[in-house]
Amino acid sequence: MSKKKSLNLPKKLINFSIWFEIVSFPIYLLVFILLNIFLPIIFGLRVKGKKNLKHIKGAIVIFNHCHYLDTPCVAYSLFLRRTYFISDEKIFKTRGLRFIVRALRTFPIPRRNPLAISPYIKKALEKNRLVSIAPEGTLLDYNQELSNFKKGAFYFAYDNNVPIVPISLALKRRKLFGKDITKPFTKITSIIGEPKKINEMGKTKEEAIENAINYFREAMQKKIDLYNGDKTLYKGKIKHTI
């Protein structure tokens, strides 16, 4: 069997330098302007709960991974807040695309050593930035019933003693002249929930993280249900937390 070639990831997974911010900002601004037109019109995107971002400095943002445009929806919801997004390292394989993705404040998780991102996340949080992670890991297109949460986002929140900000994306069918519009033109509502620190949620680190996973998963599911997230949109299998 042949060995997989290295993706040649950048030495600095997140570039905090001023020159990079200056060069990348026009790209970020242009993309946001396009999103500001595209998402509300095509997907009827509405953002609820922006007041929950007041007084929040560094924090881990979690969201349900339910749509191929869920990351842009979260970025739109958090506009004017410096937010970094975690992505699969494969997206950094193409050199030209790599710069654009990094300009949009996205960085890879190295599969061989996922913990290599820890110091970058720590530095981002110390600079009062937000770091956005989808704890479900795998994209389940149009899923409105949350699957298992992985622990990574919760470890980062605990180790850095910062709050977690949950964002629930509720999807439902849209109507045109009284008829349902089929996918992919579903209506998207982004609900920013109440932030909460997790360090006091258990006697030990592991207990606090387990309790936090259950707490946020339940809270996010309630928001999805409150805004009528349509569970019939997804036809696949769902892994439930026991």
Mean pLDDT by 10 residues, the chain (242 residues): 46 72 84 88 93 94 94 91 83 70 78 81 94 92 94 95 98 79 84 96 96 98 96 71 38
Nearest to 151 by CA among 111, 205, 218, 106: 205
In this structure, what token pair is assigned to residue 41?
């019109």
Top-tier CATH class for 18-226: alpha beta
- pLDDT attached to residue 19: 83
Distance CA 137, CA 102 (A): 20
Nearest to 75 by CA among 96, 105, 55: 105
Contacts of 206 (CB under 8 A, 6+ apart): none
- pLDDT attached to residue 211: 98
Distance CA 38, CA 30 (A): 12
Domain ranges of the chain: 18-226
Backbone angles phi, psi at 171, to 5 degrees: -115, 140
**Rounded to two decimals, what is the model's pTM?**
0.86
| pLDDT tens figures, 2-33 | 444 444 555 566 777 788 888 888 888 888 88
